[in-house]
Amino acid sequence: MAKGFIKPVKGTRDFYPQDKVWQNWLYEKAKEASQAFGYQEYEGPILESFSLYSAKSAEEIIKNQSFIIPVKGRPVQDSLILRPELTPTLARMIAAREYELAFPVRWWSWGRFFRYEAPQRGRGREFYQWNIDLLGQDCPNADAETIAVGVWFLASLGLTAADVVIKVNDRKYLDDKFDLINIPQNSRLAIFRIIDKKDKVAAGDFEAMLIEAGLTKLQIKDLGLILKDYDYSQESPWLTELFSSLSDLGVGDWVEFDPTIVRGFDYYTDTVFEARTKNRQGRALFGGGRYQNLVNDVGGTRKIGGVGLAVGDMMVYEVLSDLGRLPVLSALPAKILMTVFNEETFRSSLLIVGRLRGLGVNIEMFLDYQTSLAKQLAYANKKGFSKVLIVGPEEKTSQEATVKDLVSGQQKRVKIKDLAVFLKD
């Protein structure tokens, strides 16, 4: 038998109460941002068919980062997959009820996802992610709203435009540029994937990948000029309207055009964007973009385009930690402890606790009347309660309780009938 503790699976996390209260806080922030713009909550299954993702998601994720579960006696296309992202599931759900839903659809979700990648700071093999999507409005204003929801969320975490920049590009705009330098249509998806890795590899490696993809030296030189051209104003009405709408939505100081942003998912067709911190780490807080064909690709008969973004919980934590902006949260749902003076007063204390809970006061009760009051107070201090209630023989007779404030050390006798109001105040 192995010695020591059995550790969690590499890349996964145990959520102790203090960790879970952070998760709940982040979920509430995502919920508030979503609902402020009128988005409805939904959820899909954690297990999906491998075929749903194999041709629709990022090649790198499917080939190297997915947890694939084979089905005995069936081909690989019949395998199952632990969802690495949610957009294909969303498209499948929309396609299934495309004639029942009222468009535009504004949906959001918060759930658990899985990727088989090397665990590192801000990245795990299992993580929570906020997803928000708008489907059925194929215009730059829809993309602007999606980005604005993301900004609303970041601002609610205490971040500002001085901390984060959202880099925006348009794949179709870049595709038009590819026409000018004669990059073949059948090579463009591969080129997009390579550009997505530009910041992660050395310049020589980047050029070598482009050569391997079939580009000539002249095309590589021209591509380099395209990726350094930050003036879209005379060439892209779509980007012009998008940035105008972002300004009107009050988030213009958060965004900037960046022709090197393409995103790694194969289904993106137009607008793409990434939120990155401005410090030297340059951490990616969220990413997203427009997908015009995905609903059709998973079986839909109507042309329903969409735009969405996704935010992972682990990177948000790391960014707030780096900036010293983590919230101070308490994992205690009840900050008051009812102590037990002795066996004779136990039933009286139990009745008081029941009455307080019925009046909306969260309260924990110490249940072992054989434990000394000193040990109960030590427990209350260690756990972080703000107040304790003591009902001894004197209090029982006078229908009172002693309320001891563990922060100030002060205590006061309060009538039982007034106790709920006193504790709430």
pLDDT at 77: 80
Residues 292 and 248 reside in one and the same domain: yes
Residue 9 lies inside a defined structural domain of this protein: no
C-alpha atoms less than 13 angstroms from C-alpha of 85 in its C-beta half-sphere? 27
Total Cβ atoms within 10 A of residue 403: 18
Element (H, E) at 401: strand 400-405
Q: Which of 300, 322, 344 is the last residue of a domain?
A: 322
Domain shared by 174 and 203, yes or no: yes
Report the C-alpha gap between 336 and 111 in whole angstroms. 32
In a domain? residue 12: no
Q: Check which CATH number belongs to the domain holding 260 and give it.
A: 3.30.930.10
| 174 and 229 inside one domain | yes
What is the per-residue pLDDT for 73? 85
Residue 186 placed within a domain: yes
Lay out the sheet containing 40-41: strands in order across: 40-41, 105-114, 126-135, 306-312, 284-291, 271-277, 164-170, 255-257
pLDDT mean across residues, the chain: 93
Residue pLDDT, tens place only, 308-350: 999 999 999 999 999 999 999 999 999 999 999 999 999 999 9
CA distance 82 to 234: 44
Same domain, 136 and 213: yes
pLDDT tens digit string along 389-423?
999 999 999 999 999 999 999 999 999 999 999 99
Structural domain contains residue 113? yes
Report the pLDDT value the prediction gives residue 113, as an integer from 0 to 100: 95
- CATH number of the domain at 342, please: 3.40.50.800
The answer to whether 12 and 22 are in contact (CB under 8 A) is no
Assess contact for 104 and 138: CB atoms under 8 A. Answer: no
- For 165-187, letters b (16+ CB in 10 Å) and e give bbbbbbbbbbbebbeebebeeee
Assess if residue 29 is contained within a domain. yes
Residue 119 binned pLDDT confidence (cut-offs 50, 70, 90):
confident
Residue 80: what are its φ and ψ, rounded to 5°? -105, 160
Q: Is residue 72 one of the residues assigned to a domain? A: yes
195 and 62 assigned to the same domain: yes
Bond prior to 104 in cis (omega within 30° of 0) = yes
* Number of domains present in the structure of the chain: 2
Is residue 106 within 8 A of residue 59, CB to CB? The reply is: no
Q: Decide if 27 is inside a domain.
A: yes
Question: Do 238 and 270 meet the contact criterion of CB atoms below 8 Å apart?
Answer: yes
| Mean pLDDT (whole number) for 247-274 | 93
Residue 117 in contact with residue 66, Cβ under 8 Å?
A: no
* Residue from 298, 14, 304 nearest 137 by CA: 304
Residue 310 phi, psi (nearest 5): -140, 140
Going 239 to 244 to 249 to 255, the CA torsion angle's sign is positive
Co-location of 308 and 394 in the same domain: no
Does 357 have pLDDT greater than 70?
yes
The per-residue pLDDT for 58 is 60
At 142-151, the pLDDT tens digits run 999 999 999 9
Residue 131 — φ and ψ, nearest 5°?
Answer: -120, 135
**What is this structure's pTM?**
0.89
Beta strand 80-82 with 47-49 is antiparallel
- Shared domain for 131 and 250, answered yes or no, is yes
- 143 lies in the same domain as 277: yes
Half-sphere CA count of 213, side-chain side, radius 13 A: 23
Are 282 and 360 contained in the same domain? no
The residue behind tokens 């900050």 is 335
Q: Quick one: 233 exposed, middle or buried, by C-beta within 10 A (0-12, 13-18, 19+)?
A: exposed
Domain identity same for 284 and 350: no
Structural domain of 228: 17-322
Q: In what order do the strands lie in the sheet with 80-82?
A: 47-49, 80-82, 67-69
Please give the Cα distance from 66 to 355 (Å, whole number).
52
Are 199 and 345 in a shared domain? no
pLDDT score, position 320: 96
Question: Is 351 found in the same domain as 245?
Answer: no
**Domain contains 1:** no
End position of a domain, from candidates 271, 300, 322: 322
**Residue after which a domain boundary falls, among 274, 297, 322:** 322
